[in-house]
Amino acid sequence: MSLDLVYRQAVLSVAGNPKVEALIKGRARSLVRRYVAGESLEEALQAAERLEAEGVHAILDLLGEMVHSEEEARGFQAGILELVRKISERPWPKYVSLKLTQLGLDLSEALALELMRGILREAEPRGVFVRLDMEDSPRVDATLRLYKALREEGFHGVGLVLQSYLFRTEKDLLDLLPYKPNLRLVKGAYREPKEVAFQDKRLIDAEFLHLGKLALKEGLYVAFATHDPRLIAEVKRYTQAMGVPRDRFEFQLLFGVRPEEQRRLAQEGYTVRAYVPYGTHWYPYLSRRIAERPENLFLVLRSLLGG
């Protein structure tokens, strides 16, 4: 196992400790503001406006996952519907991302499907694209089933995410080809066992490029979600060499991470989107960001020591 993976798994394990969660929630607000646009929808829309002024489009995400009741799931649906209506009033590209577990996937697939139908019935007529985030490996099959069900019901303004660190992903990609999915490709940010996921960063990176090239060859629209300069450079080289037009793919990066790279790619004429999370349920998201980059752990420690 690579040092990167050892670090990530260690951080995610510690982050699950309730005492650590309480400490970070109480004293690491400065780091939160770096990666989360705010707790309100208005703050998120203001952050999106600033990005648009720099040529970078926004992916808005009301943070939340793994709810414990139907009431909680319906509350998140109401929040997402408010987001859909508000963003539809803006002149820039309209793009929303969500997790199915915040709509009750763990409680009932039928409930999550019902709530997703309600969201898409509001979103599609307003030109709002909705991306279903992919969560940890036990939830992949259910997420794929719901995506396919929505497409078979006639919804088209919905996309999916695949993770390159899972052994199964190439098969999942091939199985999805009849649906011609709008695909976001990520490496994967959850703590996964060696039985289901690559544990070596080099293999994860290689698989990321392999899957992206395969998807492009199959005619899919691909959003490459990475901050790695080497991977970005290889995507640019490959698409230029193969004559893949720039309206067939895009780059996606996280709010607060390498903003200068986001602006530079946009200035070069690529479609660039920044994932802009907001809301009060930010702790799981922040934990995964800390696990991705050791520098973020130092920022947390500095926040804690400095109060």
pLDDT at 301 > cutoff 60: no
Q: How far is residue 16 from each of residues 157, 201, 266, 283, 293, measured CA to CA in Å? A: 35, 23, 37, 10, 17
Q: What is the pLDDT of residues 45-102, one digit of tens each?
A: 999 999 999 999 999 999 999 999 999 999 999 999 999 999 999 999 999 999 999 9
* Residues 32, 49 share a domain: no
**Comparing 85-94, 180-189, 280-289, which segment has the lowest mean pLDDT?**
280-289
CA angle 130, 133, 134 (to 5 degrees): 145
* Residues 27, 43 share a domain: no
Q: Tell me, what's the pLDDT at 30?
A: 65
Q: Tell me, what's the pLDDT at 281?
A: 83
* Residues 294, 238 share a domain: no
**Comparing 20-24, 61-65, 91-95, 119-123, which segment has the lowest mean pLDDT?**
20-24
pLDDT at 19 > cutoff 70: no
Please give the average per-residue pLDDT across 215-223, as a whole number.
Answer: 98
* Residues 113, 192 share a domain: yes
By CB neighbour count within 10 A (0-12 exposed, 13-18 middle, 19+ buried), where does 298 fall? exposed
* Residues 163, 22 share a domain: no
Which helix or strand (DSSP H or E) is residue 183 part of?
Answer: strand 183-186
Distance CA 66, CA 141 (A): 16
* Residues 66, 208 share a domain: yes
Give percent of the chain with pLDDT exceeding 70. Answer: 84
Q: Is residue 223 within 8 Å of 185, Cβ to Cβ?
A: yes
pLDDT at 196 > cutoff 50: yes
Q: Which residues are catalytic?
A: 133, 184
Q: Tell me, what's the pLDDT at 307?
A: 46
How many domains are there within the chain? 2
Distance CA 61, CA 41 (A): 9
Please give the average per-residue pLDDT across 122-127, as a whole number.
Answer: 98
* Residues 298, 215 share a domain: no
Domain that holds residue 118: 38-281
